[in-house]
Structure formats: C-alpha cells, structure tokens
Amino acid sequence: MNGVVVARGLQEALSDLSERPDATVLAGGTDLMVEMNRGLRRPRRVVAVSQVPELRQWSVANDRVVVGGGVTYTEMMTTPLAQAAPALAQAARTVGSPPIRNAGTLGGNLGTASPAGDTLPVLAALNAQIVVAGPDGERRMELEEFVVGVKQTSLQPGELIVRAEMDRPRGPQEFLKIGPRNAMVISMAGLALVVDRDARAVRCALGAVAAGIPRAREAEAWVAERIDWDNGAGVDGAVADEFGPRVAAACAPIDDHRSTAAYRRHAVAVLATRALKRAFPQGGADDA
C-alpha cells in the first residue's frame, strides 16, 4: 500500500480522490478492514474520511431529514435524529454491537451496497436521494439508481458519498429484520415499512432478499386502497395477512450460506404483515 490520507475536510477529501482515482475510501472500517485483515483486499491508496466534519452533519426539518455520509449508526439511534427517522434508528439499532455502531456509517453502508445493508431498505422506503460529490460537482439519484447490483454502485472514480436526503412523512415507521440472534447479526431478511398519512401511501422496501433493494410497489398500492385513512380505523386483520405474501412477491431471494430462498420469502411475508399490524394497531390508534 502506497499511501494513507486522513482527510480533514470535504474539499480536501474530494481533491485527494480526484488526484488518486485508484484510492479506496475508508469510512468506519467495519467492512473494508475486515477484508484487509483477511488479505482479501489490498488497496493501493486509502483516503480516510471519518475526520471530515461536513460528512458528520445531519439536519431535521418538518418534511425532510438529511443525514451525512459519515453519520454513525450510534448517532442515527440518538434523538432528535432517531425521532425524525424512526425506521432508520431501528435499523441502526440492529447493526452489530455498540463498538460497531460507533464506527459504521450511513455512507459506508451505501458504499458497500450489500443487499443486507440494514439502512438501505429504510432509505428506499423514505424515497431517499443519495447525493454524491466529485470533480464535476454534486449529483443526486434514487437508491435504486445508486445500488446497481450486489455490492455494486453507480459511484464513479473520484466520487464520494456526501449525504442522503429523505422524506419525513407523518405516520408510523417500522424496520424489522430476521437473523439467528439479536446482536451481531447480518440480515437473512429485512423490511422497512413507512406510512405517509398525507399522501395516503404505504411504502415498503426489502433487504437481503434480492440483488438490489426492491420496493414492493404493487403491494404498497394494493394496501393503500384498503386502509381506512379517514376514520383512523386502520387495517383489517385479513388485509394485513394478505399483505405479507403480496410483499413477498417483490423479492428474488437466493440460497446462500446464511439462509434459503424459501425461508427468506416466508420471512418477508411474516415481517410485512407484522410491520403493517404494528403501524396500524388494532383500534386504529393514531400514533402519528
């Protein structure tokens, strides 16, 4: 390895990256260092971005939440960010252990682009725009344009993930995931469900069950028509039960060392029904 640069500002990081297009960006290290320790990866150069203050910023407005690429899972779990994006906080809470959550970042989760990246379904369900910066300035895209395959992104050499800008809808949010235990678990299946009362919409995205992060758009539209939006009565139990398999139709899982396709499809259906029932508790309590 020829060099390590510890960038102390966004412009410095960007100019380092444009001068060294072969450099690998290091954020919290929870993915890259594992591969380096095992000898699976040996970057020629590293630009470390954990000391870039611009990437550590986040902000909360009435209808919008902006989270910098260097914001850690621990920070996502902390109010007021956790209150403004509860599903993001729930997802962050399921990642690794406290020291992992202290190090791992939203930008790192995006950059690794694993289908099992736990924040990614939340970003998809919150209609997030991913903002990247490069030599030619900023560009922004939907998550579906950013994550283009298993651990593949549309990030170009010299570009850096700067922030994600997401909706802050009025309504409940859920993130649920399945794994063999509660801590230190990589998702076998994950699901984010967001209710937007003003748009009368339910948005649902899936993790670890496809090459990308699919939205269950047909199931979303189907259930939105069956919710009693005006009277707050919520969702009929039979509708919630049927919602599960309809969401599962959006996944394209595989058998691998972590789980089987059949189990993942089953798990997604269970998670979808559970998330919808939690979002619309019996009696239709309005917890927006």
Which residues of the shown chain bind another protein in the complex (CB under 8 A)? 1-4, 6, 26, 28-30, 33-34, 36-38, 42-43, 46, 48, 50-51, 96-100, 102-103, 182-184
- Closest approach, Cβ 4 to another protein, in A, equals 4
- Closest approach, Cβ 285 to another protein, in A, equals 26
Buried b (16+ CB within 10 A) or exposed e, 56-83: bbbeeeeeebbbbbbbbbbbbbeeebbe
- Closest approach, Cβ 1 to another protein, in A, equals 4
- Closest approach, Cβ 23 to another protein, in A, equals 12
CB nearer another protein, residue 26 or residue 227: 26
- Closest approach, Cβ 96 to another protein, in A, equals 7
CB nearer another protein, residue 33 or residue 221: 33
246 in Cβ contact with 222 (< 8 Å): yes
CB nearer another protein, residue 187 or residue 273: 187
CB nearer another protein, residue 48 or residue 131: 48
For residue 12, the one-letter residue type is E
Paired residues of 167 in beta bridges: 64
**What is the distance between the alpha carbons of residues 73 and 54, in angstroms, rounded to a whole number?**
17
CB nearer another protein, residue 51 or residue 57: 51
